[in-house]
Structure 1
Amino acid sequence: MYDRILFPTDGSPGAEAALDQTIELASLCDATVHVLYVADSENEASHLVMSDDDTGFSGMVKPDDVERESGMTEKGRGGMQRLEAAGEELVEAAAAAFADREIETVTEVRRGNPYRTILDYAEEADADLIVMPTHGRRGIDRFLLGSVTEKVVRTAEIPVLTVRLGDDEQA
């Protein structure tokens, strides 16, 4: 039924839930999974990354605002390069999860507007299906942040399977 499944990931808990569904679907269909990470080059808020160092600090930080001597950033690397490096780690981790189930994968990290890049990649890869998480945002958060998944669902020319986190997973 599906030969090529596109799995865009951002490393969120929603993406983890969508990963599990993608594994099951790809196994059933003997499909190749294209794992894509998009470093959002158009949205300043997307340049926030998780950081954790030996001090125990953990949270969202803007890479260019972090002191380079703190050990949380690599000297000489800008925010986009760090996002791309984090993206490489995410797609490789997802590829390893697919490999554990003997599912063929293709990995890609790109810069751009996430929803447009996802749609462009789906067309280039001749994907049959896109599997994406919903983050369950409501109200002002959804309005201000927008929804990449919603934009993909509304504009994709191929089916999009959305996976929503359960209430217990959102906590």
Structure 2
Amino acid sequence: MFSHILIPTDGSALATLAVDKGIEFARDANAGVTIITVIEPFHIATANAKQINRTRGEYEKFVRMEGARALTDAELKAKQIGVSCRSVQVESDEPFQAIIDAAEKNSCDLIMMASHGRRGIGALLLGSVTQKVLTHSKIPVLVYR
């Protein structure tokens, strides 16, 4: 039914669980996966706790390393259970759009993602990334809770 699944992660516990379940789902469906992390650019005026306590350079180094760790962990999991996997890290002010764009660019026929990640008060004010992907994606979205 599905041949290529995009699985976004922000490294949070729920997103990591969704990655694991997504890779297992891909194995059962005989599908490949692309794992994506989206780095939000540093902004001086922000509610993002990762940015408030860091300089621009510290923030960029921290989120790139955190994203690379999440991608490496997912790639190892996929390899262990025999799922074809590639990974990508992108930077975008609009993570939901970066996820949709990556799914289209990589010819994915399903996006599987966690119901929420580490979005804090910003999610309450702006809506979650998952909700925005559900609203705007033309590709089917499977949400893991």
- TM-score normalised by length of structure 2: 0.85
Distance 1:136 1:10, change over 3 A: closer
Distance 1:64 1:7, change over 3 A: same
Report the residue type matching 1:85 in the other structure: M
Q: For residues 76-95 of structure 1, what are the structure 2 equivalents within 5 Å?
A: 77-95=57-75
CA deviation map 1:46-83 (0-9, x unaligned)? 4617xxxxxxxxxxx73329xxxxxxxxxxx4422321
Distance 1:42 1:148, change over 3 A: farther
Report the residue type matching 2:140 in the other structure: P
SS in 1 for 2:64: helix
Distance between the aligned counterparts of 1:136 and 1:46, measured in 2? 13
Q: For residues 137-152 of structure 1, what are the structure 2 equivalents within 5 Å?
A: 142-144=123-125, 146-152=127-133
Distance 1:78 1:34, change over 3 A: same
Query: 2:54 — aligned with what?
Result: 63
Once superposed, which parts of structure 1, at least 4 consecutive aligned residues long, lie more than 6 Å away? none
Distance between the aligned counterparts of 1:110 and 1:142, measured in 2? 20
Query: 2:80 — aligned with what?
Result: 100
**Coordinate RMSD, CA, aligned:** 2.4
Query: 1:48 — aligned with what?
Result: 50
Query: 1:72 — aligned with what?
Result: none
Larger radius of gyration: 1
Report the residue type matching 1:84 in the other structure: R
Query: 2:7 — aligned with what?
Result: 7
CA deviation map 1:98-146 (0-9, x unaligned)? 1110111011111002111101111100101001101399xx7742252
Distance between the aligned counterparts of 1:104 and 1:136, measured in 2? 25
Query: 1:52 — aligned with what?
Result: none
Native 8 Å contact 1:40 1:47 kept in 2: no
Identical aligned residues as a percent:
33
Q: For residues 5-44 of structure 1, what are the structure 2 equivalents within 5 Å?
A: 5-41=5-41, 44=46
Structure 1: give runs of 5+ residues left out of the alignment: 50-60, 66-76, 165-171
Distance between the aligned counterparts of 1:141 and 1:82, measured in 2? 20
- TM-score normalised by length of structure 1: 0.73
Report the residue type matching 1:19 in the other structure: V
Native 8 Å contact 1:47 1:79 kept in 2: no
Distance between the aligned counterparts of 1:88 and 1:141, measured in 2? 24
Among 78, 86, 109, the alignment partner of 1:128 is 109
Report the count of equivalent residues. 140
Native 8 Å contact 2:6 2:110 kept in 1: yes
Native 8 Å contact 1:131 1:163 kept in 2: yes
Report the residue type matching 2:13 in the other structure: P
